[in-house]
Amino acid sequence: MNFLLLGSIIAAPVLIFVMVKYSGMQQNKQASRQRRLDSQRKHKQIIQESRENEREEKRKKAEEGHLQAQLSLASDLEFINPDGAIEWYKAAAEQGSDIAFHALVRLYDENFDDPNAKDKSLYWHARIRSKQGDQESIYRLGRMYIEARGCEINTDLGIETITGVAEAGYMDAQIYLSNWYRSHQDKEFQTKAFYWTLKAAQQDDPKSMLALGKCYRKGMGVAPSSSKAIYWCERVAELKVAEAQYAAAVVNKGISASNNAIAYIWAYLAVSNGLSIANELRNELEQELPLENLLSIQNVARKLVMLMKDKEIKKHSVIKLLNKFYVRDGYFPPQNLEAEAGFVIDDLVESTPPSAEAPVNS
């Protein structure tokens, strides 16, 4: 028993020493770990502050119009704030950056939350192609401004954009301007509608040629002229368009005996091409034409039906044939159709490149 007591007395100080030593080591380890964590935290804080300072500096440059800063800031925000990225890419696009244009197309293509994202993507794609001088894209871009598709409405810019490509000879743009101006009642707009109808007719667009005949017949944007109305209606009638053949009959009727004969022939052709509304006019003309001439006129009409059915008709061939048969002094337009208008439209918007200078508003 004494030995056990003695051993305990001897071991106690040793045990206490070991425990104190172990506790000190643990405290040192914990302190070392804490110092390491503090150091890492401080390092991260320094890096974060540095990045924030760098981002703030980049933002200041971007706001001042620095292109590379705008592009860099937009790229940084793509995954954390896509809307913010779009705004900075738009700012860069205002400076004509191709990178920004393509990025905007991509971001809108990937945006499934915005119901107008597809239109906005098409808008920016049109901006890209417009910068490259593609006439169809310039025309589509102008319509987007007018119709507020993918961008804010800007009718003036839309008309200016379309006018530029129309002046360059793009027929779809000419037809659009013709219809757009005609839809307004303003006299000046009717004059412009006539001008663009004339430009499209110059390219042998059937609808524009027929519309031009209507302009001359009713004096829409131009002084009335029966001879010019007849020519443009008959130009389309030669193309075997039944509605134009009927229109040619209408404009010829009542001018003279020769014109009545020609009117009957066009009405006959229109009926042969399935336009039932021309029946009434043909029957009316039958009653007005001298009986001794009617059989001859009907014979000419039947021969023309067969001729136009089986063969491609050469431009002006039918018109010249009718002029010769019925001694009609037919009108033919001059080579320069703009001189045909008899006026100058001074305030037509001049052509301007619509790509880089268009406002970024989508």
At 19-69, the pLDDT tens digits run 666 676 777 777 777 777 777 777 677 666 666 667 778 788 888 888 999
Q: Maximum Cα–Cα distance for the chain, whole Å? A: 163
What pLDDT, on a 0 to 100 scale, did the predictor assign at position 35? Answer: 75
pLDDT per residue over 201-227, tens digit each? Answer: 999 999 999 999 999 999 999 999 999
The stretches in the chain having pLDDT less than 50 are 344-360
Query: What pLDDT does 312 receive?
Result: 87
130 vs 224: CA distance, rounded Å: 39
Between helix 257-272 and helix 291-310 the angle, nearest 10°, is 40
Q: Is 301 buried (19+), middle (13-18) or exposed (0-12) by CB count in 10 A?
A: buried
pLDDT at 355: 38
Residue in 146, 183, 184 with CA at minimum distance from that of residue 163: 146
pLDDT of 7 reads: 62
Q: Please give the pLDDT value at position 351.
A: 35
pLDDT at 347: 43
d(CA 158, CA 206): 26
* C-alpha span between 278 and 273 (Å, rounded): 10
Question: Using CA atoms, how far apart are residues 83 and 68, in angstroms rounded to an integer?
Answer: 19
Please name the residues in contact with 237: beta carbons below 8 A apart, sequence gap of 6 or more: 244, 245, 247, 248, 266, 269, 318
What is the distance between the alpha carbons of residues 144 and 124, in angstroms, rounded to a whole number? 11
Task: Return the HEC string of the chain.
Answer: CHHHHHHHHHHHHHHHHHHHHHHHHHHHHHHHHHHHHHHHHHHHHHHHHHHHHHHHHHHHHHHCCCHHHHHHHHHHHCCCCHHHHHHHHHHHHCCCCHHHHHHHHHHHHCCCCCCCHHHHHHHHHHHHHHHCCCHHHHHHHHHHHHHCCCCCCCHHHHHHHHHHHHHCCCHHHHHHHHHHHHCCCCHHHHHHHHHHHHHHHCCCCHHHHHHHHHHHHHCCCCCCCHHHHHHHHHHHHCCCCHHHHHHHHHHHCCCCHHHHHHHHHHHHHHHHCCCCCHHHHHHHHHHHCCHHHHHHHHHHHHHHHHHHHHCCCCCCHHHHHHHHHCCCCCCCCCCCHHHHCCCCCCCCCCCCCCCCCCCCCC
pLDDT at residue 289, as a whole number = 94
Amino acid of residue 186 = D
